[in-house]
Amino acid sequence: MKTIGVMDGPYYIKASMNKFYSNTRLLINSSTMSGITTGYYFCDVYYCYATVKLPDNYLKVAINNPTQSGYSDLNSLTIGVNFTMTTTGAGTFIYMTTYTIVINYNLLGQSIGNEYPKDRNSLNFSCSIMAY
């Protein structure tokens, strides 16, 4: 978790990740992933996330596109970021999430190895903050 100061940014927060699915079968559409023929593939799916503690005097928060866009929805493979805001006794927090996919094999068992986005290990979330 990273505490952000009071200026607008953009601030970049390194994504943490957990493997969400291992070798799960996904329908991949060629319109959502370049270089891939439409069909079913066995994929590893990673859940990428970051938590940001907002300053007490924040007025407005803008969630920017991450350095590499993952998927906000695995069913439609919609590119984007999901986010929620929560206030607790410890402060106000933004939780940002996205999914990344590693295509391991096609249905014939041929190794593919493509990763979307291209380098999930360098994925950074981004937000801007307006404070008073």
Beta-carbon contacts of 85 under 8 Å, excluding residues fewer than 6 positions away, are: 61, 92, 93, 94, 95
Contact 96, 49 (CB under 8 A): yes
Question: What pLDDT, on a 0 to 100 scale, did the predictor assign at position 55?
Answer: 83
Question: Which has more pLDDT, 131 or 116?
Answer: 116
- Give the model confidence (pLDDT) of 19-64 as tens digits: 999 999 999 988 878 788 999 999 999 999 999 888 887 777 878 7
- Count of the separate structural domains present in the chain: 1
Answer left, alpha or beta for residue 72, where phi above 0 means left and psi between -120 and 50 means alpha: alpha
120 pLDDT more than 90: no
Bridge-based pairing state of the strands 11-14 and 39-53: unpaired
- Give the model confidence (pLDDT) of 66-81 as tens digits: 777 789 998 888 888 9
Contact 32, 87 (CB under 8 A): no
Contact 94, 19 (CB under 8 A): no
Name the pTM for this structure: 0.82
Question: What pLDDT, on a 0 to 100 scale, did the predictor assign at position 7?
Answer: 52
Average pLDDT score, the chain = 86
122 pLDDT more than 80: yes
pLDDT, average across residues 111-116:
91
4 pLDDT more than 70: no
CA 42/CA 53 separation, integer angstroms: 36
Structural domain harbouring 40: 2-131
